[in-house]
Amino acid sequence: MERTEEKSDGTGLEVLFPEEGKTAPCCAHGPTLLFEKVGSGGARGRRFYACSACRDRKDCSFFQWEDEKVSEASVLAREAEIQSKRPRFTQEEYRIRFLTFAALPLDERKFCEECQVLVLPAEHSAHSAHRTRTVSAAQLRRPSLLLSPLGNKKSNAQYLFSERSACFLLDALASLGYRKVLCVGTPRLQELIKQRNLQQNQEPMQSLLLDIDYRYAQFYAQDQFCHYNMFNHHFFGGQASRTVLENFLEEVPGQKVVMVADPPFGGLVRPLANSFSLISQMWRRRRRQEPGDSEADLPLVWIFPYFFEPRILECLPSLAMLDYQVDYDNHPLYKHGKTGRRQSPVRIFTNIPAQDVVLPAEEGYRFCSLCQRYVSSLNKHCSACNLCPSKDGRQWKHCSACSRCVKPSWRHCLACSRCALPDHPCRSAGGRGGAAEDGCFSCGSLQHKQNACPLRARPRSSSSGPRARRRSQKASRHAAPPVAQSRGARPL
């Protein structure tokens, strides 16, 4: 058993990858992941399988001890559950429906807001009691505006890029010469690519969307959408769907591929890194063997909060974090602007050389010639550390006692002999000696860090109560789960 996973540094859960040849049981979201509870002294608990995609048992109730004998009856019940969660139509059927729908006169093109489906004339009566709207040709090309974003805070909340961020990403990738964009959990990016192709004043780009939200299958051809789970690299459409990805990854001269992923923040970093590596391997196998190319990695853009940096770099050391702040349309906290709203903590992690990704000067980003990368306006180069130290966009300051740069709000504490918030639980006062400026990423409490969070210790508990509510306001678009959250995810 390879013990790679979410490293334990307190109480919590680790994800283990099963040995070669040993298969995990499946839930409606494909193969489950194997978890192990780890106690504070490193004591290990009984291992169990749980859903890879859903952090909340309300969304997927699958649970099985590793050594559990499963009865025939529960196998059948599980199978029934999997069947019931299958999409109503095959992708081919969805395609035919779409083409039929697009050919209808405007007043017959109805979208049911309650069922989130395009409704064909023969089906109108079945939705007559539902809220429906007509769909123009332009709206049909913007499914991310038509579909209501999934609001499930824990596993599948959808936060759509602001126009500013989506355009920045696309312009940056286009100017770097990428002509094929693999969109993993980035439906709005795929949409923008298709929009731009229509404008015809630029070289067309190809895109393929991989997403677990199969409502998008209604709008795209088979070679433009794969129903996919990025936590276990599972293709719901089986080999046919896998082949779509393989074909997409094939590069012909002048058609460089790049992958852009924006996973749920509550997601486990290691399983994501694992899936992205597998996609990179697929790409590598498809490449015409050029000398020295066998080691190359698929260019990757992974969008995630800055406080996951240590964890992400541990899993994928070839990535570097850029200063660019990614923001969202439908996230109340992480919107761009000077209106006193919080700055977005979401960043770009990429293996594209940082000096090549030009960040917009009109937003204050500038090039640091010493670091050879673009940095945010307040991120001043520190000659002692010899880097531009800020992670959060604020101006950090150097502490000579710690010999590193720290957040502006921190003070050096002699008792703890390190920098911390002035009101940290100080060793001299008998506290635990751990400042928690940003509090707990799991529950939002300022009293402890995530690795000491009491909520995390309970296996897959459903969350309610004030703490959980606080979490969903604070933590992120996809609030971190109480358990099974990536280690190293503490705010710096």
Q: Quick one: 132 or 197, whose CB is closer to Zn ion?
A: 132
Q: Which two tokens stand for residue 420?
A: 């911390």
Which range touches ligand SAH (CB under 6 A), out of 98-106, 159-167, 333-341, 482-490? 159-167
Task: Let me know the angle formed at the C-alpha of 194 by 190 and 199, rounded to the nearest 5 degrees.
Answer: 145
Which range touches Zn ion (CB under 5 A), out of 97-105, 141-149, 239-247, 399-407? 399-407
Residue 470's binding partner, choosing from ligand SAH, Zn ion, none, with beta-carbon cut-off 5 to 8 A by kind? none
Q: Using CA atoms, how far apart are residues 136 and 126, in angstroms rounded to an integer?
A: 22
Least Cβ distance, residue 295 to ligand SAH (angstroms): 28
Residue 12's binding partner, choosing from ligand SAH, Zn ion, none, with beta-carbon cut-off 5 to 8 A by kind? none
The secondary structure of 142-198 as a DSSP string is: -HHHHSPPP--TTTT---PBPHHHHHHHHHHHHHTTEEEEEEES-HHHHHHHHHHHH
Q: End-to-end distance of the chain based on CA atoms, in angstroms?
A: 31
Is 230 among the residues that bind ligand SAH (CB under 6 A)?
yes
- 487 close to 16: Cβ distance less than 8 angstroms: no
- 10 close to 39: Cβ distance less than 8 angstroms: no
* Contact letters for ligand SAH, residues 269-308 (x by CB under 6 A): ----------------------------------------
* Contact letters for ligand SAH, residues 431-460 (x by CB under 6 A): ------------------------------
Among 96, 240, 401, 415, binds Zn ion (CB under 5 A): 401
- Count Cβ neighbours within 10 Å for each residue of 454-482 and write b for 16 or more, e otherwise: ebbbebbeebeeebbebbbebbbbbbbbb
Say which residues have a Cβ less than 8 Å from residue 151's Cβ, sequence separation at least 6.
157, 158
Binding residues with ligand SAH: total (CB under 6 A): 21
* Contact letters for ligand SAH, residues 237-276 (x by CB under 6 A): -------------------------xxx------------
Q: Using CA atoms, how far apart are residues 133 and 333, in angstroms rounded to an integer?
A: 30
Which range touches ligand SAH (CB under 6 A), out of 90-98, 158-166, 237-245, 402-410? 158-166
Q: Using CA atoms, how far apart are residues 477 and 286, in angstroms rounded to an integer?
A: 35
Least Cβ distance, residue 128 to Zn ion (angstroms): 9
Is 189 among the residues that bind ligand SAH (CB under 6 A)?
yes
Among 104, 150, 368, 416, binds Zn ion (CB under 5 A): 368
Q: Which two tokens stand for residue 117?
A: 């489906």
Least Cβ distance, residue 194 to ligand SAH (angstroms): 13
Looking at residues 41 to 80 of the shown chain, list those that interact with ligand SAH (rule: CB under 6 A): 53
Among 258, 405, 479, 489, binds Zn ion (CB under 5 A): 405
Q: Quick one: 74 or 355, whose CB is closer to Zn ion?
A: 355
Is 159 among the residues that bind ligand SAH (CB under 6 A)?
yes
DSSP class of 308 = G
Q: Which two tokens stand for residue 274?
A: 């694992």
Looking at residues 88 to 127 of the shown chain, list those that interact with Zn ion (rule: CB under 5 A): 112, 114-115, 127
Q: Which long-range contacts (CB under 8 A, 24 or more apart) does 78-84 make?
A: 78/25, 78/26, 78/27, 81/27, 81/28, 82/26, 82/27, 82/28, 84/28
Name the site residues for ligand SAH (rule: CB under 6 A). Answer: 53, 156, 158-161, 185-189, 211-213, 228-231, 262-264
Name the site residues for Zn ion (rule: CB under 5 A). Answer: 112, 114-115, 127, 130, 368, 370-371, 381-382, 384-385, 388, 398-399, 401-402, 405, 412, 419
